[in-house]
Every structure is written in structure tokens, then in C-alpha cells.
Amino acid sequence: MGMNAPPPRHRAQHAAATAISPAGPSKSLLPKSLLLGTVLLGLAGCGHRDAFDATMDWWHQYEGGAIARQRPPPPGAHDPYPAVGLTPTTPPVVPSATLRQSVTESLVEQRNLAHRQGAEIGALTIAAPPSPTSAN
């Protein structure tokens, strides 16, 4: 009806047919293991350090000086964490709505003017330099 399991009398035959022989893995496992090995070798190549990197690290340690020193910590790395409770609780003073609207309208006018002037003037073209043969 919807069961895929073999009946009890055939389970022993099914288990014997699918068991791995003592001689080695079955032929169906060989391609899978080769694929897995290929993938693992491919991923191992992602994190390699070649001889050039190792040589440069050795040279920088040998050379010393500014190139071998550790970078200093960022400013404020050892300062205490700021107290968030001491932040201002009053909202900042902002310009009135009419002033903000007038600034917005002015910016829109400037943008539209720039677009119009760009369309009237057109693209700025640069003349091609003279060819070397015509200079003679």
C-alpha cells in the first residue's frame, strides 16, 4: 500500500544483497568516495600558505623595525564603556517646518536647473588628439 520495506522473509536476502563484501567496498561506494576526496582536496587548497607568504613573514620578523611591530590598539580601546543613561533626554532644536520646506524647495529648484542646463549644453566632448601621421 505505501510501504517500501521488504516483507520479513525477504529481509535476510535483502541484507545479504546490500552488505559490503569483506574484500572491500562495493562498486557503488567507490565513485562517492572519490567525489568526497576530490571535494576535500579542493577545499584544502582554499586555505593554503605558499612559500612566498612564509618567506615574507620570516623576512619581516628578521628585518624588525616598523614593519614587524604590532599595530597599536584603536583610540579608546581601553576606555570604559560609555554610560548610555547619561545621553541627552531632550530632543534637539530643529528649524521650523516652513524653513525646512523652503530649503527643500530651493534644493529642488537647483537640481532642476542643473538638469536643464545639462540638457541645453549637452555632453562635454573632448576633441581627439591629432594622429601622429598628420603631425609630419
Per-residue pLDDT reduced to its tens digit, 11-32: 666 565 555 555 555 567 888 8
pTM, entire model: 0.28
CA–CA distance, 95 with 115 (Å, rounded to integer): 29
For the chain, the average pLDDT equals: 78
CA–CA distance, 53 with 132 (Å, rounded to integer): 46
Q: Mean pLDDT throughout 46-53?
A: 72
- Per-domain boundaries in the chain: 48-75
CA–CA distance, 56 with 49 (Å, rounded to integer): 11
Structure letter (DSSP) for residue 89: -
DSSP for 85-97, please give it: GGS--SPPP---H
CA–CA distance, 45 with 29 (Å, rounded to integer): 25
Residue reference for cell 624588525: 64
CA–CA distance, 32 with 20 (Å, rounded to integer): 15
Per-residue confidence at 7, pLDDT binned at 50, 70, 90? low
